[in-house]
Structure 1
Amino acid sequence: MSNIYMPERGEILSIVQESPIEWLFKVKTTIKPAPGQFIQLSIHMVGEAPISVANYNHDEEWIEFLIRKVGKVTDAIFNLQPGDSIFLRGAYGNCFPMDTYSGKRVIVVAGGSGTAPVRPLIKHFIDDENTDIELIFGFKDQESILFKKEIDEWRKKAPMILTVDKGCGIDGECVGLVTEYIPHLKMYENFDNLEVVIVGPPMMMKYSALEFLKLGIPEDKIWVSFERNMSCAVGKCGHCKIDETYVCLEGPIFNYVKAKTLLD
């Protein structure tokens, strides 16, 4: 029986700045995640932290992580350079139900760093002729916009609303919160062919979901992703527990039917 706590060594392939506070780390690893899962990244004698998977390539054996300095572990990660080693264990948690989404109209609403965990999902469906994907992205300001080159490409292939909370919208960006634009989406009577994915800060997910409910979208058609203080990642430590739910085991992807009772 394998040790569920045992990490493997990975090599940092590249580090790219995405915003003033967020950097994209590409790591060589044999771990094969699915969209929506997370990995525990660790540095010897420092600690470990759960990081969402921002992209991956199973054939080339690498995973990308969007990381900002928010504590002891991430501070140490920012001291690393390409060629240095980092330890990984996982992948953990459940994933987006890709088969459920396939062939349907999928509306993705993402705020800030919440664009990272939905990035593999978008890449999977953006060129799928059988799946209609629509995107709403919200960022604090112009400097905070992530994955700009990819967003420009996605804009050519799918309906998109890109909004900043404050400042001036340029190059086609709107101004305001994502919740302001959800009511303007065109809805159809057949909700069987619709799935909604919302990822971002807890309050953003809560009020975005409420806007979709106002449009008549059934609760079971809405999906969210929780970023919680995972520690062991295998349901032993209780750090991620909300009531009786272990986010690391039952999540981080939840259907709103369950998530509405867990939103902080």
Structure 2
Amino acid sequence: MLPEPHQILDVVKETQAEYTFRVAYDKPTQYNQFFQLSIPKVGEAPISVSGKGNGYLEFTMRKVGRLTEGVFGLDKGDTLFMRGPYGNSFPVADFEGKDLVVICGGTGMSPVKTVLTHFMDHPEISKSVHFIVGFKDINSVLFTDALKTFSEQPKFRTTYCLDNSEAPGFHKGFVTQYIKNVPFADFDDYNVAIVGPPMMMGFSAQECLKNGADPKKIWVSFERRMSCAVGKCGHCKINDTYVCLDGPVFNYTKAAHLFD
């Protein structure tokens, strides 16, 4: 519950609006968990882990409010306060030994990047990884080095797209247009992870179902719903569900009733 100080080890500019902050941290976290990042007398906000390694975590954020405005003023060597981790995670252990489909939009790639990296680093634990990600335009593309690396992996089938334009290595259109290329009928066992804006997740899940996916095999993450992380503010409450306490990851059999 109490924020603790952590040193910023590095800052990487992803786009004009998004930066990745590498922060010193040496405790275990699960895939897709989030932390409350804060600056004293400025505020705090829930931010998902976009990368992790020996002695550090990474957080990728967009400048959209007081807290992120303050964080963007910090640099390597400065202190950022954190409390967490919070939330549940994708059932990565259950994903192993099967085919995996990951569909995300924009900054929705941040919370699943650690999952993708896990399967890239351990190719022996998956049959295949079908990865579809969409961005608004070429200037909004995140994690360019990681995208290139993922596309070079023998077990990865990558589709990168831009909403209304084309560029080398990118298709034109929304992620939903390319879900039909995922061979669900050929999979013996599989899982689907979807992260992005609520409307994008809803349409993507529907497109997966249309192409034969089992709803019990689909997982979504309601990243934008959280605020206090401990179920007190009510900001993330949907019907009787507190996303920060029960999620943010939900199986689609539950999530289908949470979309609004």
TM-score (norm 2): 0.95
Query: How many residues in Structure 1 have an aligned counterpart in Structure 2?
Result: 256
Indicate whether 1:34 and 2:46 are aligned: no
Deviations along 1:193-236, one digit per CA (max 9) or x if unpaired, are 11011111111100000001011211111011112342321122
RMSD over equivalenced CA pairs, Å = 1.2
Task: Measure, in 2, the Cα distance between the counterparts of 1:97 and 1:120.
Answer: 13
Please state if 1:45 is matched with 2:41: yes
Task: Say which SS state the counterpart of residue 90 (structure 1) adopts.
Answer: strand
Moved over 4 A (4+): none
Partners of 1:24 and 1:64 within 8 A in 2: yes
| 1:6 to partner: Cα distance | 0.8
Identity of aligned residues (%): 46
* Counterpart check, 1:104 vs 2:101: no
Question: Which of 213, 218, 232 is 1:217 aligned to?
Answer: 213
Query: Equivalent residues in 2 for 1:185-200 (5 A)?
Result: 185-188=182-185, 193-200=189-196
Gaps spanning 5+ residues in structure 1: where?
Answer: none
Cα distance in 2 for residues equivalent to 1:69 and 1:189: 42
- Pick the aligned partner of 2:202 from 206, 213, 223: 206
DSSP-derived class of the 1:228 partner = helix
Query: Which residue of structure 2 aligns with residue 165 of structure 1?
Result: 163
Aligned to 1:256: 252
One-letter amino acid of the structure 1 residue matched with residue 78 of structure 2: D
Letter in 2 for 1:8: E
Aligned 8 A contact 1:225 1:253 in 2 = yes
- 1:34-73 pair list within 5 angstroms: 34-57=30-53, 60-73=54-67
* Match for residue 234 of structure 2 among 215, 221, 238: 238
Displacement, 1:187? Answer: 2.4
Q: 1:175 to 1:190 in 2, by over 3 A?
A: closer
1:137 paired residue number:
133
Q: CA deviation at 1:32?
A: 2.5
Aligned to 2:119: 125
2: CA distance, partners of 1:28 / 1:209: 36
User: Which of 151, 168, 173 is the aligned partner of 1:176?
Assistant: 173
- Higher mean alpha-carbon deviation, 224-233 vs 85-94, is at 224-233
Alpha-carbon offset, residue 190 of structure 1: 5.0
Cα-to-partner distance string for 1:93-124 (whole Å, 9 max, x where unaligned): 00110111011000001110011101000010
Alpha carbons 1:228, 1:247 under 8 Å: kept = no
Residue 60 of structure 2 is aligned to residue 87 of structure 1: no
The residue that corresponds to 2:68 in the other structure is: 74
